[in-house]
């Protein structure tokens, strides 16, 4: 149908304002800030020192690598846990139960991440609920501090991003025709063969989109590593926060921020390329 130019501009103007003012310009600013710094006289000059600092200070790049590796581990664990859950919901549960289970899966994630992490803290800390019961039951002699270590932190990260793996997996599994599995079974295929040749290949798009979202959310998470990880479990977003808020070194912080942005974009891009998908498809 023919459209007026006016309508086009009415749609375009707010969208363009949003994208230019709040997405493009701020990130260009981030990039320029990261190349600025003070020289010995306190004047602002162009410099690559912020990036140089990153590579020469082991604590910075080690944290960076650590964050990336832990994000990969978290994504893998989330996938392993989510796969059977998704399979159960779409292929095993009684039809009437399916809807209820989906609602139950979604509900906790609408509650603020902070509240969920706080819940884990009450459960796991030395004076926490779990310790109370373990001591009562005689499993432990005295309470053990279960918070503030890497394993707990990863569990927290898995917990906070679980949903973003389960939902795409359920939706791809729903679209898998049961009769394919039945046929394979009738022809004598074992469980392993069915998973390897039918279920997993069919679920690939869901796996990729889930993995990308979980990876990105974990990489950029601040709250969970900060509250559940100990003093030693440094997370790269904490470094960024420290540069910005504690040291007030915005130029260094910008460089860190830009590096994190590059890393997350690169890995997402690689994930999309490897699985032959487009961002738009993954998103919707």
Q: Which positions from 139 through 178 interact with other proteins, judged by CB under 8 A?
A: 159, 162, 178
- Which range, of 43-51, 57-65, 145-153, 249-257, touches other proteins by CB under 8 A? 249-257
Give yes or no for residue 227 binding other proteins (CB under 8 A).
yes
Which structure tokens are listed for 52? 């140089």
Q: Which residue lies nearer to other proteins by CB, 62 or 129?
A: 129
Region of 212 on the Ramachandran plot (φ > 0 left; ψ -120 to 50 alpha; else beta): alpha
Tell me the sheet residues that pair with 36: 46
- Which range, of 38-46, 58-66, 78-86, 145-153, touches other proteins by CB under 8 A? 78-86
Could you give the CA distance from residue 54 to residue 205 in angstroms, rounded to a whole number?
A: 36
Give yes or no for residue 201 binding other proteins (CB under 8 A).
no
Applying CB under 8 A, the site for other proteins has a residue count of 89
- Binding characters for other proteins, 11-30, by CB under 8 A (x = yes): xx-xxx-xx--xxxxxx-xx
Residue 61 Cβ, how far from other proteins at the closest point, in Å?
18
Give yes or no for residue 273 binding other proteins (CB under 8 A).
no
- Binding characters for other proteins, 90-119, by CB under 8 A (x = yes): -xx----------xxxxxx-xxxxxxxxxx
Give yes or no for residue 216 binding other proteins (CB under 8 A).
yes
C-alpha of 110 from chain center: 16
Which structure tokens are listed for 60? 């910075």
Q: Which positions from 54 through 73 interact with other proteins, judged by CB under 8 A?
A: none
- Which range, of 44-52, 57-65, 129-137, 200-208, touches other proteins by CB under 8 A? 129-137
Helices (H), 35-177: 49-56, 58-87, 95-110, 113-124, 129-136, 150-174
Give yes or no for residue 10 binding other proteins (CB under 8 A).
yes
Q: Which positions from 34 through 53 interact with other proteins, judged by CB under 8 A?
A: none
To the nearest 10 degrees (0 to 180), the angle between helices 250-275 and 200-219 is 180
The 3-state DSSP class for residue 36 equals strand
Rg (CA), the chain: 24
């Amino acid at each position: 149908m023919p459209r007026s130019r006016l309508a086009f501009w009415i749609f375009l103007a707010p969208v363009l304002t949003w994208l230019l003012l709040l997405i493009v310009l701020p990130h260009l600013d981030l990039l320029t800030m990261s190349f600025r710094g003070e020289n010995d006289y306190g004047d602002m000059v162009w410099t690559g020192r912020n990036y140089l600092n990153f590579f020469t200070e082991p604590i910075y790049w080690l944290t960076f690598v650590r964050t990336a590796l832990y994000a990969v581990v978290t994504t893998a664990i989330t996938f392993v846990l989510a796969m059977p859950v998704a399979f159960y919901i779409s292929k095993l549960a009684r039809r009437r139960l399916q809807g209820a289970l989906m609602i139950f899966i979604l509900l906790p994630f609408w509650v603020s991440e902070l509240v969920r992490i706080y819940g884990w803290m009450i459960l796991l800390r030395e004076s926490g609920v779990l310790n109370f019961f373990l001591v009562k039951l005689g499993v432990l002699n005295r309470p053990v501090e279960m918070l503030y270590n890497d394993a707990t932190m990863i569990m927290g990260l898995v917990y906070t991003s679980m949903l973003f793996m389960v939902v795409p997996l359920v939706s791809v599994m729903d679209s898998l025709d049961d009769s394919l599995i039945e046929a394979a079974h009738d022809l004598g295929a074992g469980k392993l063969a069915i998973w390897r040749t039918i279920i997993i290949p069919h679920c690939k798009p869901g796996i990729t989109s889930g993995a990308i979202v979980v990876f990105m959310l974990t990489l950029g998470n601040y709250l969970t590593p900060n509250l559940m990880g100990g003093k030693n479990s440094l997370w790269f977003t904490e470094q960024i926060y420290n540069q910005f808020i504690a040291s007030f070194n915005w130029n260094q912080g910008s460089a860190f921020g830009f590096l994190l942005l590059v890393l997350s974009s690169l890995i997402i891009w690689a994930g999309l390329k490897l699985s032959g998908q487009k961002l738009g498809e993954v998103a919707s």
